[in-house]
Amino acid sequence: MNIRTVATTPFNDQKPGTSGLRKRVPAFQQPHYLENFVQSIFDTITVPPNATLVLGGDGRYYNREATQVILKMAAANGFRRVLVGAGGILSTPAASCIIRKYKTHGGIILSASHNPGGPDGDFGIKYNGTNGGPATETVTEAIYTASKKITQYRIADAADVALDRTGDHKMGDMTVSVIDPVEAYAELMESLFDFDAIRALLKGGFRIKFDAMHAVTGPYAREILVNRLGAPADSVMNAVPLPDFGGGHPDPNLTYAHELVEIVYGKHAPDFGAASDGDGDRNMILGKGFFVTPSDSLAIIAANAQCAPGYKQGLAGIARSMPTSEAADRVAKALGIPCYETPTGWKFFGNLMDAGKVTLCGEESFGTGSDHVREKDGLWAVLFWLNILAARKQSVETIVREHWTKYGRNVYSRHDYEGIPVDAANGVMKLLKDSFASLKGAQFGHLQVKLCDDFSYTDPVDGSVSTGQGVRILFVDGSRIVFRLSGTGTEGATLRIYLESFEPDVSRHHLDAQEALATLIGITLQISELRKRTGRDKPTVIT
């Protein structure tokens, strides 16, 4: 097998965001673009002798082509074996599961998560470390530094691998093992949850509807929910992964999963609804005509963790991203365990889990997970909810309302302004930071500002410091407004605004979140000058 060394020059836009490098497909199709970034990964991680790599993606457009390129580059860079999902498919949590199970030298995941796919859609690539989690900021920064200096990459002259045929294939000295993408993950889920109890729940007439959104979790949901748990076949909708996600936006929220929302809010609604995203790491949970916020979902899973066999030993701690509501904090306090507040990005949870400090973690952006892998995990959250429902024999809404009665309700919402001009988004953030001094102590009706800052985080495990993680406006009564620029988009800027207030009064728990947060919304628009600066009169998405 001939190995070529190809001369190249750097691209100036290969800085990874919170979840790897994401660009439009045409950017990755440029000559040398993908190869440069992959070589930068390999040059950074220093491939040891006899190393194994995991490789797979969410099946979006360009997934297969990129997989073949990476296999040839892995052979040229000294890997002895690559475990690749059949068809080039691996959900992100399944990839993490396989990295950990086989103790590989990390893995490369091809995904742009919840972003749209297709020839003009988004594509992404990221490296996950040996613990199965996203590369640390130190590693991603080193990859970016390498990408700015790269002069050559190595690639093998080899035939494409038959990705649809499981088994071993030789590529020079390297073995390509095409594996069932679902099996190891499904076995892990069966070890964590009471499948017998969930089977009995479903057999007793409890109806579910899972929307795979034509993304990667279709095969996983069919194997676990239908084949192993006995749900009717039509319990899983949009189950066939498509390169363009069927023309949809594979983001499991009330706006983009509208087909599922119409079903669970309509006549003859199922008892439980759920959806997952492009690469399978996010989830949305719904009851019959009832939406569970991701923040509440994390808190309720924590409060009911002992319903699941894999968590009966109790929780070491909980972690949440800073913009996520403080509902989980209240559960942690009641349980007598720590709750850590981190920046947005799953990599920050990895250190805490590896150190044994936390068991559960979650983000308001529809991501929930535990130390079973080092990624957020959509189907895991769905199965946890089904386990809780089977144990408590109550509806989703009843469980949530009883939780609010016990702990109080953290009324919460996120407003996304997507695709706004970068200069306008940066202008809003600068205005807010420049206003810290005048805002502190300011009175807005019954609300008084206690503190304004740009959130920073010191990792309690390795001491690393992350700054500039989001503007916080904190009020004396515990209410919060948070502003962040998202690092997951590829076009323009996405400004996310998070609103939270605490409501202990059970008689007010029925209020719609937007109604209950109306005062905070008004303050947000006033202090940010958002409408004037962006030209937007309403958010793109409200969750």
Which residues carry out catalysis? 113
Q: Do residues 181 and 245 lie in contact, with contact meaning Cβ atoms separated by under 8 Å?
A: no
Nearest to 116 by CA among 67, 58, 69, 70: 58
Beta bridge partners of 129: none
Q: Do residues 25 and 123 lie in contact, with contact meaning Cβ atoms separated by under 8 Å?
A: yes
Q: Return d(Cα 399, Cα 393) in angstroms, integer.
A: 9
Within a 10 A sphere around the Cβ of 458, how many other Cβ atoms? 10
Q: Return d(Cα 141, Cα 163) in angstroms, integer.
A: 32
Within a 10 A sphere around the Cβ of 190, how many other Cβ atoms? 15
Cα-based distances in Å from 51 to 87, 103, 113, 139, 407: 22, 10, 27, 18, 49
Q: Do residues 73 and 39 lie in contact, with contact meaning Cβ atoms separated by under 8 Å?
A: yes
Residue 322: Cβ-neighbour burial (10 angstroms; 0-12, 13-18, 19+): buried
Residue 246: Cβ-neighbour burial (10 angstroms; 0-12, 13-18, 19+): middle
Give, for 27, the enclosing helix (H) or strand (E). Answer: helix 25-28
272-276 and 208-211 strand pairing = parallel
Nearest to 400 by CA among 412, 418, 417: 412
Q: Which amino acid is at 503?
A: E
Rounding to the nearest 10 degrees, give the CA dihedral for residues 26, 30, 35, 41. -50
Nearest to 386 by CA among 277, 296, 307, 498: 307
Residue 118 backbone phi and psi in degrees, to 5? 110, 175
Q: Do residues 490 and 112 lie in contact, with contact meaning Cβ atoms separated by under 8 Å?
A: yes
At residue 70, the 3 state secondary structure works out as helix
Name 2's Cβ contacts closer than 8 Å, sequence gap at least 6.
156, 157
Q: Return d(Cα 55, Cα 431) in angstroms, integer.
A: 43
Q: What is the Rg, in whole angstroms, of the alpha carbon atoms belonging to the chain?
A: 23
Place of tokens 């909810």: 385
Place of tokens 């390999």: 42
